[in-house]
Amino acid sequence: MGQGRHKEDNITLRQAEVMQEICRHFSIYKKMPTMQQLATAFKIAVPSIYDILQELVGKGYLKRIEKGNTRPYVINREVEPASLVTVQIPVLGEIPGGVPVEEEEDRSGDETIAVDKALTKNGEVFALRVNGDSMIGAGIQTGDIVIIRHQPIAADGDIVAASIGSEVTLKRLVNKPDRIALEPENPNFKPIELTRYDTFRIIGKMVGIIKRKESDDGRQQSPEI
């Protein structure tokens, strides 16, 4: 997998990776990662993460704000395209963001897309195009590309690619002692309630999204590959 360009005079490689992880975490969880979470993700000590955050503040990527007795970091700007640290991952086809459809047997191909290198740190990842609007409440719509980390388990609240019998779908997992379900993020769709009799498996967890671009006249275009 190839690595994207890096702009040494603006931001170092490690600073870019950490800033990209901060932005990725915020886009999914709508909150900033803790220093311990960043330290765990990059397998370095918390004081080293603190130093990197201070450098990112100095370069204008993060800023500190007064909030009660704390001074949390907030995102001030994202890493410039020329400095993004990226790798190429395969695009393995399409996944319904609506009513489940029959799973394809062969999703292999030569198409790839460049993604944030941080997404590949914890396992194999691949991309799928979304077709449907059952997840619009989570900001996922037709034409978007979701990044999936291949894993057989997921936590309550994770957005997952899952198969039910021979069908596949993209939904939010409800995993509680009294209920297991796949929840849409659109009131026009019903949850998929699961029982012990269902043939169900998690294909992977969504760890990122590439939004479909819009043209100058407001019409949507496919993401650039």
- Give catalytic residues, as residue numbers: 134, 171
Please check whether residue 50 is in contact with residue 56, taking contact to mean a CB–CB distance below 8 angstroms: no
Contact of 200 with 134, CB cutoff 8 Å: no
Of 8, 77, 14, 84, the closest CA to residue 49 belongs to 14
Find the angle CA(91)-CA(79)-CA(36) to the nearest 5 degrees. Answer: 90
How far, in Å, CA of 57 to CA of 62, rounded? Answer: 5
CA distance 95 to 146: 9
Q: Chain centroid to CA 207: how far?
A: 3
Yes or no: say if 213 and 224 are a contact pair by the CB < 8 Å rule.
Answer: yes
Does residue 49 contact residue 39 with C-beta atoms inside 8 Å?
yes
How does 207-220 read in b/e, with b if 16+ C-beta sit within 10 Å?
A: bbbbebeeeeeeee
Residue type for 36, please?
Q
Quote the CA–CA distance of 38 and 139 in Å, as a whole number. Answer: 25
